[in-house]
Structures are given as C-alpha cells and as structure tokens.
Amino acid sequence: MLPFLGEYFGNPSSIHRVGRKARAILDDSRERVAQVWKCKASEVVFTSGATESVSQAICGTARFLKSKGRHLITSAVEHHAVLHTVEYLVNKEGFELTTLPVDAEGRVAPQNLYSAIRDDTILVSLMAANNETGAIQPVDELGAICRQRGVLFHTDAVQWFGKEPFESIHQFNADLVTICGHKFYGPKGSGALFIKSPLLPDPILFGGGHENGRRAGTENLAAIAGLVEAIERFVPSPVFDRCKLESLANRLCAMNEFDGINLVSPLAKRLANTASFTVPGIDSMTSLAALDLDGICASAGSACSAGSLNPSHVLSAMGRNDNEANSLIRFSLGRDTSEEEINNVLATFPDFVHRNRSV
C-alpha cells in the first residue's frame, strides 16, 4: 500500500498524467478482482467496507425496485449492518419485512425462505457465515431459491471470504455480494460489492460519477491496493487454513466438557477459525476482562457491540435464554495462532469459570 500513499498520489479522476497513472492502477485493480471472482470488471464496486457495501446493496436495491414491491426478507442472525438497514427502510420508507427464524445451530431452513417469498418480495438478504458462532448457511441453496422465484438475493459474505474454498463469486447464486478487506488480512476501511449486471441499484452517496456512477467519492487508492492484494493472495486458497485451524479450534470446542462452559458454535458446517461459548452466570464483559489479563484477546458478540451488555441477538434467535445470551465468548483464531496460545486458554479459562461460578 505504501507507494499509493506517496509515489502514486494522483487522483484517478484527474485528467493530467499523475491522475492518469492513478486511474490506470484503479482500473487494473478492478480487473484483478474480476479475475479472482470470475466476473466482469464492471461488476466490482470498491467501497469503504462491509457496512457501506451492505447499505448500498440493500437500500440501493430496495429503492430502485420499490415500484415493483416493498417486501424484504432477512434472518434474525444477520449482522447489525443488515438488521439496522432493513429496520430503517421499514420505519422510514414504508417497506415491509419478514425476518426468518433460525434453528438451534443458527441456520435458516430453505423451506422457510421458500414459503416467505411473496409476489411483492423484491430482495432477500442472508449472510454466508455468522460472525458470532461461525455457522455456515446453505447460502447457495438459499440463493437458488431466490433465483427460481425471480427475487434478487444479497449475501453478506464478510466472514466467509478467506476461510472457505472459493471458486467464483457466482457460487453464492447471489446478485449482490458484500465483502470486507480486514476479515482476511486486508486493510480496515476497505471493502467491495459485487453487483451482477445489468442490476443498477440507486446510489446511496451522491456527488461525482466515480465507480461507474455507482459510488460517488474519490477512491481510496491505498486501501484498494491493499484489498486487491489480499483478495489475490488470501481468498482463492483461504488464508485461514482449515487443516491447521480445525484441530486447534476443536481443542477449544472440547471446553464444552467443563461444567459451566457450553459450546454454541455448531460442530459441523462451521468456519474453521471460530469457537463460541456461553458461560451462564458470568457476563461477557467479566470473562473478556479476565481473559485479557491472561493475555488472551477474545470477543463477545460482534466487535462493535463489545462494550455493550445487550444479550447477543444471535443467541436469542437460536433459542438461548438471556442468561446465556449475556455470556457469549468468542475465540477467533488467525493464521498465526499457535498450540501454546490454545494451551494458555485451556489452562486458564475453565479455571476462571470454575472459581467464579462457585462464589
């Protein structure tokens, strides 16, 4: 990324030679993503991250299609980026929403999606993998149902990229796919949205004609350079190596055997790097603080809601009571996670739970 903060400082929209150089790099970046995704370069839109991609996909498509219908479908376990966006459309713009339930492992039943689609349904948004539990949705099957019923499908694939085998962007059977750079070692504040042509959602940012008129605002070339590099290096062959991570994560999952620690991540069809637990009677903040003192960086629900004591909406949707939903602890492994680090968790966390439950 460094050359794009110095040597190549031009604005891709400028006509002069410095700007043209930046434009060539931007065009090349889009081509490189299209090569990995196996789509057209014009179907790749660079954004500031997943939150923006989701807003663009959902608000832009809903507004574009509102004369055809006003019914949206999502699930109860989506990230707040999705849930708050659809809630906004319902509360402020007169859309209607069906929120699909999930089973005890956090998955949407394809049959429920099929039954929920109405004549006036214009968009379905369902995530590819859950950020709190790692549960993988049958997203291609869900997308196929939407296609069969003639309804547009958006998937928030933020947690999926760099972790699961990637063939092409079309494997989700989706018309819109959200991704985010920092989930697979790209820079924070970088993201992209796949928009299958000829769909042209309404813009959500207004101004210049950047990104082929789909996203106004001067492009962040350094972030785009970092994102593209990460997509090429870490997505086709996932950087979160299942062979290595699965055995480490499974050792964590075995904490389920301890009294007072309950595994909530599914054992099968789960992202290899994620292991989440509830510790009823000990709220997430207390556990996180104790883990931090032992040098262990864990999370509760989504990172943006760490710091709040709201019960996890994901666990509530999976049928867990408030006591459990308040006590979620998520361990997310990375490419450098070691046996020693796992040993440290196993040596300290069950002991902490044991001591604090007995007081």
| Binding-site ranges for ligand PLP (CB under 6 A) | 49-51, 79, 81, 127, 131, 156, 158-159, 180, 302-303
Distance of CA 145 to the CA centre of its chain: 21
- Which residue, 133 or 290, is less far from ligand PLP as judged by CB? 133
Do the Cβ atoms of 202 and 60 come closer than 8 Å? yes
Cα–Cα nearest to 279, from 257, 294, 263, 266: 263
Catalytic one among 59, 180, 243, 304?
304
What is the distance between the alpha carbons of residues 291 and 102, in angstroms, rounded to a whole number? 30
- Which residue, 85 or 121, is less far from ligand PLP as judged by CB? 85
Kindly report the number of other CB atoms within 10 A of residue 245's CB atom.
Answer: 21
- Which residue, 132 or 219, is less far from ligand PLP as judged by CB? 132
Least distance between ligand PLP and beta carbon 319 (Å):
21
Tokens 């081509």 label which residue?
31
What is the distance between the alpha carbons of residues 316 and 43, in angstroms, rounded to a whole number? 36
Least distance between ligand PLP and beta carbon 53 (Å):
8
Structure letter (DSSP) for residue 3: G
- Which residue, 50 or 290, is less far from ligand PLP as judged by CB? 50
Tokens 């947690």 label which residue?
159
Kindly report the number of other CB atoms within 10 A of residue 116's CB atom.
Answer: 16
Please, what's the largest Cα pairwise distance for the chain?
71
Least distance between ligand PLP and beta carbon 50 (Å):
3
- Which residue, 124 or 180, is less far from ligand PLP as judged by CB? 180
Least distance between ligand PLP and beta carbon 174 (Å):
14
Distance (Å) of CA 162 to CA 36, 89, 166, 276:
12, 31, 8, 19
Active site residue 304: yes
What is the distance between the alpha carbons of residues 44 and 253, in angstroms, rounded to a whole number? 38
Least distance between ligand PLP and beta carbon 110 (Å):
20
Supply the angle between the helices 339-357 and 242-253 in degrees, to the nearest 10: 20
Catalytic sites, residue numbers: 304
